[in-house]
């Protein structure tokens, strides 16, 4: 599993959870089904895209910082 | 001043003032809510049932009814509600609907309003805790996702081009000889 895909998975969960959490602090109204499902889908998609980008960036920076040790391990 | 139409009060506050989420009534979910349904006889409503519903994802998660016998053509009617059993889960903003229902189950009048329920111990209610734990766990997983890049690269690493040292590079491919060395010819009968 690559960093981008792992970040996307984390982001989808985060996006959905943040939407529910906003309702818990009375910032969002999830009383009706149709806008609530839309909020959850939008939260999941936005979270997934942002998570994939963040995971990709973090993966590249991690690889850049650990490239030397990775070569050593390969030997 | 006599009200011209039906109205509902929540602990003495007219619910018409809480018609939006920003103006939601702040309530303590451990305390009893005293609702008073009032409608004048001039409204011409014959009511059998007064109802309070709380909605979440389009479904009525809580319903309270007061059935009137005999039917009434005017208020007031009191409805008491104490959501203590679900208060640790219900922290947050919710839409409630107060309804006046006739004998033939027709909703004669209804009013939507919003409440913001504060659970006991505030933010330490059950569902916010679970959500916060999930958020922290997923953020930790997102920060750690860089290591998965290394794992992914290790998994996709190409096979070594050199063969293992145990195997000679150019081993003879001739078939092995039989153990006996010289095999007598077959069919040597005298």
Tell me which residue range forms the domain holding B60.
Answer: 7-120
Which residues of B, range 99-128, sit inside 8 Å of A by Cβ? Answer: 114, 116, 125, 127-128
pTM as predicted = 0.70
User: Is residue A15 within 8 angstroms of chain B, CB to CB?
Assistant: no
B57: left (phi over 0), alpha (psi -120 to 50) or beta: left
Instruction: State the pLDDT at residue B145.
Output: 80
How many angstroms away from the CA of A24 is the closest CA of chain B?
A: 4
- The verdict on B70 and B138 lying in the same domain is no
Interface test with B, best of A10, A24, A28 (most B CBs within 10 A): A24
Number of structural domains chain A divides into: 1
Give pLDDT tens digits for B96-121.
999 999 988 889 999 999 988 887 66
- Within a domain: residue B161? no
- Within a domain: residue B182? no
Instruction: State the pLDDT at residue B123.
Output: 58
User: How many C-beta atoms surround the C-beta of residue B1 within 10 A?
Assistant: 3
Number of structural domains chain B divides into: 2
- The verdict on B33 and B58 lying in the same domain is yes
Give pLDDT tens digits for B34-70.
999 999 988 888 899 999 998 988 888 888 999 998 8
Percent of chain B surpassing pLDDT 70 = 71
Within chain A, which residues score under 50 in pLDDT?
A: 70-75
User: Is residue A67 within 8 angstroms of chain B, CB to CB?
Assistant: no
Smallest Cβ distance to B145: which of A13, A37, A59? A59
- Within a domain: residue A71? no
- Within a domain: residue A10? yes
Which of the four pLDDT bands, split at 50, 70 and 90, describes residue B181?
Answer: very low
Per-position DSSP letters for B70-120, written without gaps between them: EEESS--EEEEE--GGGTTT--EEEEEEEEEE-TTS-EEEEEEEEEEEEPT
């Amino acid at each position: 599993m690559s960093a981008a895909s792992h970040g996307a998975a984390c982001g989808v969960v985060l996006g959905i959870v943040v939407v529910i959490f906003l309702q818990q602090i009375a910032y969002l109204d999830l009383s009706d089904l149709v806008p609530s499902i839309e909020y959850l889908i939008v939260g999941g998609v936005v979270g997934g895209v942002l998570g994939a980008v963040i995971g990709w960036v973090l993966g590249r920076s991690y690889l850049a910082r650990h490239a030397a040790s990775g070569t050593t391990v390969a030997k | 001043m006599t009200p011209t139409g039906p109205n509902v009060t929540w602990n003495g506050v007219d619910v018409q003032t809480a018609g939006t989420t920003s103006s939601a009534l702040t309530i303590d979910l451990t305390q009893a809510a005293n609702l008073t349904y009032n409608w004048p006889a001039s409204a011409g409503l014959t009511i059998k049932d007064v109802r309070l519903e709380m909605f979440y994802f389009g479904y009525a998660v809580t319903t309270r009814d007061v059935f009137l016998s005999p039917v009434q053509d005017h208020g007031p009617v009191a409805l008491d509600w104490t959501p203590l059993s679900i208060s640790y889960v219900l922290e947050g903003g919710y839409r409630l609907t107060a309804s006046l229902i006739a004998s033939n189950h027709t909703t004669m009048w209804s009013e939507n309003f919003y409440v913001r329920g504060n659970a006991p111990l505030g933010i330490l209610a059950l569902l916010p805790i679970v959500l916060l734990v999930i958020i922290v766990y997923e953020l930790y997983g997102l920060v750690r996702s860089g290591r998965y890049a290394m794992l992914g690269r290790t998994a996709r690493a190409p096979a070594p081009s050199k063969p293992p040292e145990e195997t000679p590079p150019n081993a003879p491919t001739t078939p092995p000889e039989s153990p006996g060395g010289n095999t007598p010819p077959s069919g040597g009968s005298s």
